[in-house]
Amino acid sequence: MNNSEEYRTEPNLDYAVVFGSVIVLGLPLNAVSLWILLRRHSLKSSNAIFMVNLAISDLLLVISLPMRVYLYATGTWPLSSKACTCITMLFRNNIRSSSIFITLISVDRLLAVVYPLRSRHLRTASNAWKSVALVWLFVLMVNIPEGLAHARKLNNSSESTCFEFHRQQQQQEQPRSALSYFQLVLVVTLLTVNLVSTVLVSCSLHKRLNDSAKVNNKVNVMLIFAMNLVMFTICFLPVSVGVLTIKRHEITPLVCLASVNCCLDPLLYYFSLDAFWKKKEDVDLAREQQTRDNLFS
């Protein structure tokens, strides 16, 4: 199937509009957020390191969406099967990497709020970079067999489009791959970690309700965890379940929903980093003052 004329689907302007809207919002939001994170916040902070990599993951997703817009707007795929596989993997990689980075941000905030002094040796830039390297290595290791399987299935199917399968093929629907089950287990596990972190932080903040010196911007702290749970339950979980429970040609609405996560992630940067718009020197001074307050409280 090397001829682009064989890659066809029925045009769907609704899908094209959704993916186009994600591009219009997600590209500038993540690009500006990445610029602010790199320019105004030191990468010596574990939280900032996780945020930078989350923004990179979202930008990789956004740059893959124009071809989806073209496919659903015109009904044709002008590129090769290899290009289709690469773009498909960018989307799947975003779900995995984003969900992991969001969870790391939750755990980092949990340690900062509940165990501010005991966790200082854990919440270092060195440990953060090691975690980031492991995440990307994990994503790559999963991507290789999954990409090869996707390319093989695409080339062996006489009636497939780039991202979907025609209805005629559903009578011979193949069993779901082990990676599909792994995807669901991963998302559910990470969602559980976020739920536990939310409960622990909520209890800790409730005990310190009148102690503003220890935890500043309590509402913002809880908004971080609320946003994380929203992204898991709306963006990541439905598509992970849908891959196993519904037919392939019906999963595109859930793919649209999952892609919206790259527009929501910039809200995390605003709520999660103290003084997001301030220069990193001002933030460092604020952190030093917060440490002194913790030591003498």
pLDDT in tens, 4-33: 444 556 778 888 999 999 999 999 999 998
Question: Is pLDDT of 211 > 70?
Answer: no
Q: What is the pLDDT of residue 247?
A: 66
Indicate the pLDDT class of residue 282, thresholds 50, 70 and 90: very low
User: What is the C-alpha to C-alpha distance for residues 175 and 243, in angstroms, rounded to an integer?
Assistant: 11
Question: Is pLDDT of 274 > 60?
Answer: no
Strand-pair partners of 160: 165
CA-to-CA separations, 30 to 24, 51, 60, 95, 100, in angstroms, rounded? 11, 10, 10, 16, 18
Question: Is pLDDT of 100 > 80?
Answer: yes
Tokens of 93: 């990689």
Tokens of 24: 């219009």
User: Environment class of residue 71 by beta-carbon count within 10 Å: exposed (0-12), middle (13-18) or buried (19+)?
Assistant: buried
Report yes or no: 77 and 71 within 8 Å, Cβ to Cβ: yes
User: CA-based diameter of the chain, in Å?
Assistant: 71
Question: Is pLDDT of 168 > 60?
Answer: no
Dump pLDDT digits (tens) for 221-243. Answer: 788 888 899 999 999 999 888 88
Greater confidence (155 vs 30) lies with: 30
Q: What is the pLDDT of residue 89?
A: 87
Question: Is pLDDT of 73 > 70?
Answer: yes
Indicate the pLDDT class of residue 283, thresholds 50, 70 and 90: very low
- Buried b / exposed e over 51-63, threshold 16 CB at 10 Å, is bbbbbebbbbbbe
Report yes or no: 142 and 96 within 8 Å, Cβ to Cβ: yes
Q: At what angle do helices 261-272 and 81-114 cross, to 10 degrees?
A: 30
Indicate the pLDDT class of residue 170, thresholds 50, 70 and 90: very low
Report yes or no: 190 and 272 within 8 Å, Cβ to Cβ: no
Q: Dihedral sign, CA of 271, 275, 278, 279? A: negative
Q: Dihedral sign, CA of 270, 272, 275, 277? A: negative
Domains of the chain plus CATH, in order, are 4-156+176-280 (1.20.1070.10)
Greater confidence (293 vs 243) lies with: 243
Q: Give the CB-side neighbour count of residue 168, counting CA atoms within 13 A.
A: 6
Tokens of 132: 């980031």
Q: What is the pLDDT of residue 8?
A: 59
User: What is the C-alpha to C-alpha distance for residues 266 and 262, in angstroms, rounded to an integer?
Assistant: 8
- Residue 129 has a CB neighbour count (10 Å cut-off) of 14
Q: What is the mean pLDDT of residues 182-211?
A: 86
Q: What is the mean pLDDT of residues 157-162?
A: 55
User: What is the C-alpha to C-alpha distance for residues 280 and 32, in angstroms, rounded to an integer?
Assistant: 16
Q: At what angle do helices 261-272 and 46-74 cross, to 10 degrees?
A: 160
User: What is the C-alpha to C-alpha distance for residues 294 and 288, in angstroms, rounded to an integer?
Assistant: 10
